[in-house]
Amino acid sequence: MLWVGRLFEERHTAVRLTVVGLSGVGYLVLAPGGQTLSLLDRFLAIGVIAFGYVGIWSPVTVVCGISAALAAGWFFGADNDAVPTVALAWAMFELGARRSGRQVWCGLAVAIAGSMLSDYDELLDVALTVLYAATAAVAGPLLLGMHVRALGELNRQAADRAREEMSRVRAEERTAIARELHDLVAHHVASIVLRVGVARGVLPLDDPRVRQVLDDVHATGAGALADLRRLVAVLRDPGSTRYASFVEPEGLPVALRTAVDRSHQIGLTVQVDIDPEVVRLDSRTALAVLRLTQEGLANVATHAGTTARARLSVRVSDDQVEFDLRDFGGSAGPATGASGGHGLVGLRERVEVLGGRLQAGPTESGWRLTALMPTGATT
C-alpha cells in the first residue's frame, strides 16, 4: 500500500484533483435523488472544478475562489451547492496537507465565511447553528489534511534518521578498515621495503640479477605502500576526494607498460597491443584496465608458469574499451579453474560497477580473460 501514501505527495496533486473532479462530473451527469440542476447550479459546479486546476499550485487561492463561488451562488439564487461544498472540503484538505502557518488560518477564516454566506437565509434565524455547521464542514477536512502532512513529515524524518544511521555505521566500518590497513598491512609492507632497502645497501651483491630483483621488489613495495596510504586517506575521509586516482588516463600507457615489463622480468613473454586512445578513458575505467592487466598477468605467471607466452590487447572504440588477455600454456600447464583467492571476483565487480561485463575461462591451450566496458563510468 506504499502507493497510497505516495498519492498524498504534492507532486500528485493533479491526480487527486482529477479524482475529485470526476466525482463532481458524475454528480452533474447522474443527478442523484432525481434533482434537476439549474443552469446556474451547473455553471457554478463546472466553474469550481475548473478553478481547482487553475489554482492547483496554490491551495489557499482555490479555497478563496470556491468560497467566493458559494457566496455568489446565494447572491444569484442558486438552488444546489453540493458540488461547490464538496470542492471546498477537498480544497481545505489540500490546504492542510500542503501548507502551514498563516495560509492555513486565512484559508479557514475565508472558508467559514463563504460557507456561512451560502446559508445566509438561515444565518439570520439560527446564527450559531450555521456557524457550527460551517466550521465543522471546513475544519474537519483541514485537520485531516494537517494530519496527513504531519505523517509525511514524520516519515521523512524517520528516513533521514535511517540514512544518517547508515552513514554513521558505514563511516565506522571504513574507519575500522582504514585502521587495520594502516596498522597491519601498511606496517608489514613498510617493513619489507625498509629491509630490502637495507639489504641493497649493506650486502655484497656480485650478481647484477640479484640487485635487479631487489630493486624491483623495493620499487613494487614502495608503490604498494603509497597506494595503501591513499586508500587509508580515502577511507578515513571520503569527502576529501571524489575518487582515489591511482592512475590518470594520460599515464595509463606507461602504467600498462610497467606492468608488462615486470612480467618480462620474471620470465613471461607478453605480446602487447595497446591502443593509444586509452588516454581518452576516465579515471575509473583507466584504473580498471590497469588492474585487469596486473591481476591477469599475475594469474598467467601463477597458473601457466613464469615461462608462459601471453598476448595482451586493449582496444578503444567510440564508446567502449575492449580488454583481452590470453595465455598459451606453459610449464605449469593450463589453468583449470579459479584459485582460492578473490582476484577474479574483484575484477568482475570492478568491471560490472562501471556498466561492463567480464568473461574468464579456459581455452584449448590456456586461459583467456576478456572485458568490455564503457569509456566513461555509467555509475
DSSP 97-146: HH--THHHHHHHHHHHHHHHHHTHHHHTT-HHHHHHHHHHHHHHHHHHHH
- Please state the CATH superfamily assignment of the domain spanning residues 249-374 in this structure: Histidine kinase-like ATPase, C-terminal domain (3.30.565.10)
Mean pLDDT of all residues belonging to the chain: 84
DSSP state of 355: T
Strands (E) across the chain are located at 269-274, 309-316, 320-327, 357-362, 367-374
The residue behind cell 578515513 is 236
Q: Which residues of the chain register pLDDT less than 50?
A: 1, 242, 333-339, 377-379
The values of phi and psi at residue 27, to 5°, are -65, -40
Tell me the sheet residues that pair with 314.
274, 323
One-letter identity of residue 97: A
Q: What is the pLDDT of residue 336?
A: 41
Tell me the sheet residues that pair with 371.
323, 358
Distances (CA, A) of 201 to 190, 198, 214: 17, 5, 11
Q: What is the pLDDT of residue 15?
A: 87
Provide the pairing of β-strand 320-327 with 367-374. Answer: antiparallel
Distances (CA, A) of 304 to 251, 269, 331: 29, 12, 6
98 class by beta-carbon count within 10 Å (0-12 exposed, 13-18 middle, 19+ buried): buried
Q: Are 331 and 292 in contact (CB under 8 A)?
A: no
Tell me the sheet residues that pair with 274.
314
Kind plus residue range of the DSSP H or E element containing 31 = none
Q: What is the pLDDT of residue 377?
A: 47
Q: What is the pLDDT of residue 212?
A: 76
Q: Are 252 and 286 in contact (CB under 8 A)?
A: yes
Q: What is the pLDDT of residue 338?
A: 43
The reported pTM is: 0.56
